[in-house]
Amino acid sequence: MLRLPLPLLLFPLLAGAQAPPKALLWKIDGPGLERPSYVVGTIHSRDARAFRQVPQLLRVLQGQDVLAGELDLSTAGTGLQLSARDLMMPPDTQLADLYTKRQLKRVENAVQGPLGPMAKMAGRMKPFFLMGVLSELAMNADSAMVLDQYLQVKAREMGKETMGVETVGEQLAAVRGIPLRQQADMLYDMVRKDLNRKELDKMVRTYADQDLEALGRLAEKADLGEPFGSHLLTGRNAVMAARMDSLMRGGRTFLFALGALHLPMDGGVLALLRGRGYTVTPVAADRPGAVEVPTGP
C-alpha cells in the first residue's frame, strides 16, 4: 500500500521553517466557508502512541462531511492498485547492480529476518518500497491498522464519505522521480543504522507529543537532500493545498488527514492555505488518556 509507508514523510528537509505551536490538528476558516474544515497531521504507524489523539479526532469527524486522506485507504482493495511494475525495478536491474558485494551481503542479511520467505523478492524490489516494508516492521505493531487507515475506516463506520486528495498514480510518479541509485543509498544507510529503530522510536514519541518543530529538527538531521524533498514533499504540498481549496469551496466540510510533515514550514500546507486567504489555527489537544487501538483483523 503506497501512502509512503515509512513514515518517510516525516523526514524531508524543513530548512527555513518557522516554529509552529505544539498541535497536530488545525482548524480552517475562510471567506466563502459556512462551516470550518480541519486538517490533522498523521503518521503511518501501528504504534499505540500514535493513537493518543484519536478520541478528539473522532469527535471532530462527527461534525464533518468527509474524511480525506492522501489516498483512500478505507477499502480492502487499495493495496491491489500497485502492480509488480510499480514495486519492482526494471527487468535489467536488481539490487546487486547497485551495491558492492560487501554492501549487498549486508543488505541481504538485514532483510532476511524481517521478511522471511519474502526476502527472495527483495533483490528485485525498488529500494524505496523495501525501505517502507522494513520501516513498518521495525516499529511497534500494537494496532491491526496504521493510524491513517484506522481513521478512514472509522469514518466509514460513521457513514461519512472517504476520499483521497491524491491518486495512487501521482504518488507513484513522485517515487519514480527519485533515482534508483539514491534509493539504494538510503536503504543502505538504513541498514547500517539497524533499520533506524532508535530514530523511528524517537519520531513516534515526538509525534505523540504533537511537536511539529521537533519533527522538523529530526528531518533536518536526516538531511536526505534532493530530489527526495522536492518530489515527495514540496511539490505534493502545492497540489494538496490547491485540491483542499477546491474541495472546501464545494460546500462540504472535511477532516483532511495528511502526513504530519506536509503541514509545517514555508512551503507546507498550512502556509499555502493561508496564502489562499484561509485562517488556519491550532486546536489544543485533549489531555492524553487511555486509548484503545484496533487489535482485530
Peptide bond connecting 282 to the previous residue in cis, omega within 30 degrees of 0 = no
Mean pLDDT of 187-204: 91
For residues 273 and 280, the answer to whether their CB atoms sit within 8 Å is: yes
Residue 25 pairs in a beta bridge with 40
Domain edges within the chain: 7-282
Q: What percent of the chain has pLDDT over 70?
A: 81
Which among 149, 158, 167 has a CA at the least distance from the CA of 65? 158
Is a pLDDT exceeding 70 seen at residue 215? yes
Give the residue with greater pLDDT, 16 vs 222: 222
Lowest mean pLDDT among 17-26, 78-87, 150-159, 253-262: 78-87
Quick one: how far is CA 91 from the chain centroid?
A: 29
Lowest mean pLDDT among 36-45, 244-253, 262-271, 274-283: 262-271
Is a pLDDT exceeding 90 seen at residue 250? yes
Q: What does the pLDDT read at residue 181?
A: 93
Mean pLDDT of 20-42: 91
